[in-house]
Amino acid sequence: MTLPNLSEIELLAVERIRKHGAMSRTSLAKLLEISQASVTAIAGNLLEEGVLAEIGHGRSVGGRRPLILDINPGLGYVAGIDIGATSVDLALADFRGEILSRDSYQADVRVPPEVLLEKINQTIIKMLKVEGARPEHLLGLGMGVPGPVQYPEGLLIQPPLMPIWEGFSIKSYIKNQFPKVVPCIDNDVNIMAIGEAKVGGGIGMDNFMYVKIGTGIGCGVIMHGEIYRGSDGCAGDIGHICIDYNGPVCHCGNTGCLEYMAAGPAIAAMAMQAAESGESEHLIKRMQENGGSLSSIDVGELAAAGDRASIRIINESGKMIGGVLAGLVNFYNPQAIFIGGGVSKIGHQFLSAIRQYTLRRATALSTRSLRIDYSPLGDDAGVYGAIWLVLEHIFALVK
């Protein structure tokens, strides 16, 4: 099984169906602005190659009911991989983006890339086997990684969380296991934004931001319906915007970075400090129950129960994040901000704090219709985005 080598007009036809959905030959001819005879020949070849399939008849507009064309889900398989700082989520999908199976497990991105990628490869092989497929049936693989990515080369450049991955060719390693695969590698928050745009809350939106708050803080930017990566692929790295020039030194080497002061580890550190100073009996008790540690989830749970110290910590983090987002809203004027990542699970008070300080600091016009909400897709945003990243590029990449 291999991907066919398509002509430019055939690639465009596939792109139109992918973007607009199943349609008749007549509708496809109008979108491509070509004759009915030409589109009949193009559709015939795509059907023969197995790229398209006829899925039934459409409504008649006078005469016979037209046959409807769509992407052939059985062309092969694609995998979506979302690598986080502490976990890996995987999904196997068909060529229409329908997820067939899922898997996830805890992982440490600080290990050598060969170690983590080998486990990913073996997990994908097992998932294919369950579907009755072999490694050569995998034709596309999208992956999100937690660090700055030089796109489309797929190389990590000075990734703070995984420094030993810098310059490592993820694509080459993957193709050694899956020689027929088209690999696409991007920053993890970019794929989350893509997932939200394709199957989540961003459907129909041209301009929005996806903010991931976890071990770090990053932002995926959807502009005019497409992911915006910037000139070097590092657009949206808002976690390293300085919010305090006299603040602590971040792992990136600069001082007062947003993620170092407001992300998950910072929330946990503020909670530990509040417990150790005796500010909160509830935090002290929870720390003892946890064997001497606290997490952002603990803070969220105690804040929901009314613990004043936990509420203060959440408000402080939300204020810092909201202040940065307000500047971005003034600059970019998005339709929505979706918030995801592990820290988004700490509860509504955190979202409320972010929303409050964003709206307070941004201009009235830029927030008139602004939606700020948790990601509707939640943990699924990454794998869906990784799948759609490769589905939208796969034929153009093999041309």
Q: What is the CATH number of domain 8-74?
A: 1.10.10.10
Three-class SS state of 208? strand
Which residue is listed with tokens 């869906």? 384
Structure confidence by residue, pLDDT tens digits, 5-49: 888 899 999 989 988 889 999 999 999 999 999 999 999 999 999
**What are the pLDDT digits (tens) for 246-278?**
999 998 889 999 999 999 999 999 999 999 999
CA–CA separation, 294 vs 276, rounded Å? 11
What is the rounded CA–CA span in Å between residue 293 and residue 155?
Answer: 35
Per-residue pLDDT reduced to its tens digit, 93-118: 999 999 999 999 999 998 999 999 99
Mean pLDDT computed over 344-364: 95
Residue 341's pLDDT is what?
93
pLDDT reported for residue 13:
93
Asked if pLDDT for residue 399 goes beyond 50, the answer is no
Residues 6 or more apart whose Cβ sits within 8 Å of residue 356? 318, 322
CA distance 234 to 150: 8
* pTM to 2 decimal places: 0.92
Q: pLDDT at residue 397 above 70?
A: no
Name residue 223's beta-bridge partners.
Answer: 226
CA distances from 26 to 6, 66, 273, 286 (A): 21, 8, 67, 65
Taking only the tens place, the pLDDT of each residue in 337-349 is 999 999 998 999 9
Instruction: Quickly list H helices, the chain.
Output: 8-20, 25-32, 36-48, 113-130, 170-177, 188-199, 258-262, 264-276, 281-289, 296-304, 308-332, 348-361, 381-398
Strand partners, 211: 219, 339
Which numeric CATH code is attached to 76-195+381-398? Answer: 3.30.420.40
Cα–Cα distance for residue pair 312/142, rounded to 1 Å: 40
| Share of residues in the chain with pLDDT > 90 (%) | 82
User: Roughly how many angstroms between the first and final C-alpha of the chain, as a whole number?
Assistant: 17
Q: What is the DSSP string of 135-164?
A: GGGEEEEEEEESS-EETTTTEE-S-SS-GG
The full length of the chain comes to 399
pLDDT at 398 over 60: no
Q: What is the four-CA torsion angle of 161, 165, 167, 170, rounded to 10 degrees?
A: -120
Listed by start position, the domains of the chain span 8-74, 76-195+381-398, 203-375
* One fold for 8-74 and 76-195+381-398: no
> For residues 189 and 212, is the Cβ–Cβ distance under 8 A?
yes
Q: Which fold, 203-375? A: Nucleotidyltransferase; domain 5 (3.30.420)
Please return the burial class of 115, using the count of CB atoms within 10 Å of its CB with bins 0-12, 13-18 and 19+. exposed
- At 1 the pLDDT is 57
DSSP 255: B
